[in-house]
Structure formats: structure tokens, C-alpha cells
Amino acid sequence: MSAARARTPAEIRGQRRSRSHSCWNHLIAAPLWPKYGVNLGTLLRTCDAVGACLAVPRRPWVPEALEHGNTLRRRTCVHWVDGRAERWLDRQRRGGSAIVGVELTDESIRLADLPAARRRTVMVLGHESTGIPPEGLEMLDLAVEIPMIGTGLSLNVAVAGSLVLYKLAGLC
Ligand SMILES: C[S@@+](CC[C@H](N)C(=O)[O-])C[C@H]1O[C@@H](n2cnc3c(N)ncnc32)[C@H](O)[C@@H]1O
């Protein structure tokens, strides 16, 4: 193979959408117990890349974190979650969505075995220190774990969420 040439920004831009996607409402990343705003910004960017929406609790600091973390010119779709996260998840499930938790549980399947989303899917992420609370785990149809062979106990939540989003979107 001859030496690869990095594509120019103009070449890459020509392959992208000219406008951000509207609410496709098919795949939703849900960091429902966020601690650090920077992770929300990272997830928002992955949502744009894979055509997903972001669902976040309506807390006073969250809008500013999203505004600050948005490094794209246009922002992707955000759903605001009012009240208790578990109740919102319950409503999503009753509405026919699959609820996929990204968590290290004793019943988690491995990321490689996770199929792409075939129906509306909510991907739930846990709190940076304490993970998905027990009430949230009760709402899951499925939990997925990203295998690790290092010394750390877990990945950064935005990294974990981004990996799973790509798989659910069928882009890897
Ligand atoms: C930093 S971890 C929380 C770890 C926390 N110490 C615990 O005991 O649950 C934050 C979130 O990232 C996600 N996460 C991180 N690493 C993961 C992995 N290897 N597999 C699945 N989810 C992971 C989960 O959503 C988790 O709740």
C-alpha cells in the first residue's frame, strides 16, 4: 500500500451532513445521573456522529455544561428528563423502547455480542462514582459490559457510552 494521505477538512466536510440531524428518536444516549459536565459534552459529540439523541436530567448546571461542551457549530437533539430518572425509563419501556444499560453487572453481555439497535433504544449510563443505581438497573432489558484487561476498574463514562453507541448504531 502506498503511503496514506490524511484527507483535508474540505474533503471530510463534503462527506458530512450540512445540518445537524433532527430528532430521529431511534437511539438515545441517557446519562441520567451525571456528575461531570465534561462527559455530557463528549457524549453530545458522539451523538452527533452516530445520529443519536441525548437525554439528560433537567438540573440547573446541565444546560451550561452542554453549551460549554458543544464543540460543534450546531447542537444535536437533547431530550430533557423531568423528575425521577427511573420513572422516565419506565415510560420509555412502556412506550416500546428497548432499555440497554452500559454497566458492569453479573448479567452483562460483552460488547462484541451486542447487536445493532433494531427498534427504538435507550442506552443508559451510570453515575461517574456510583454507577447505575439499583432502581435504574431494575428498568434494564439488557446490560452490556466493555471487556477490560488493564488495572482500572472501569472506563470513563463518556468513553464507555461512545463505544456502545457506535455498536448500537451499527457503525462498527
Ligand atoms: C466510572 S464508571 C462507575 C464505576 C463505579 N465505581 C461503579 O462501581 O459502578 C461510570 C459508568 O461508566 C460506564 N462504564 C465504565 N466502564 C464500563 C465498562 N467496562 N463496561 C460497561 N460500562 C462501563 C457505566 O455506565 C458506569 O456506570
- Which CATH number fits the domain that encloses residue 33? 3.40.1280.10
C-alpha dihedral, 153 to 154 to 156 to 161, nearest 10°: 180
User: Is there an atom of ligand 1 within 6 Å of 131 CB?
Assistant: yes
Q: Kindly state whether residue 58 falls inside one of the protein's structural domains.
A: yes
Show Cβ contacts of residue 38 under 8 Å, excluding neighbours closer than 6 positions. 65, 69, 158
User: Is there an atom of ligand 1 within 6 Å of 124 CB?
Assistant: no
Q: Is the pLDDT of residue 23 over 80?
A: no
Q: Kindly state whether residue 162 falls inside one of the protein's structural domains.
A: yes
Over residues 98-135, the pLDDT tens digits come to 999 999 999 999 999 999 999 999 999 999 999 999 99
Over residues 57-113, the pLDDT tens digits come to 999 999 999 988 777 766 689 999 999 999 999 999 999 999 999 999 999 999 999
| Residue of 69 and 51 predicted with greater confidence | 51
- Mean predicted lDDT score pLDDT of the chain: 93
Q: Kindly state whether residue 163 falls inside one of the protein's structural domains.
A: yes
- The reported pLDDT for the residue numbered 73 is 64
Question: How far is the centre of ligand 1, averaged over its atoms, from the C-alpha of 65 (Å)?
Answer: 21
Q: Kindly state whether residue 4 falls inside one of the protein's structural domains.
A: no
Q: Kindly state whether residue 5 falls inside one of the protein's structural domains.
A: no
Total count of domains within the chain: 1
- The reported pLDDT for the residue numbered 145 is 98
C-alpha dihedral, 86 to 87 to 89 to 91, nearest 10°: 170
- The reported pLDDT for the residue numbered 20 is 67
Closest CA to 136 of 165, 108, 111, 100: 100
Q: Kindly state whether residue 9 falls inside one of the protein's structural domains.
A: no
The torsion angles phi and psi of 54, rounded to 5 degrees, stand at -115, 135
Nearest-angstrom CA–CA distance, 170 and 135 = 29
Nearest-angstrom CA–CA distance, 38 and 161 = 13
Question: Integer distance in angstroms from the first to the last C-alpha of the chain?
Answer: 23
Q: Indicate the pLDDT class of residue 18, thresholds 50, 70 and 90.
A: confident
Q: Residue for cell digits 448479567?
A: 107
Q: Kindly state whether residue 66 falls inside one of the protein's structural domains.
A: yes
Instruction: State the residue range of the domain holding 84.
Output: 29-168
Mutation pick for ligand 1 pocket among 142, 157, 163 (CB with most ligand atoms within 8 Å): 157
Q: Kindly state whether residue 144 falls inside one of the protein's structural domains.
A: yes
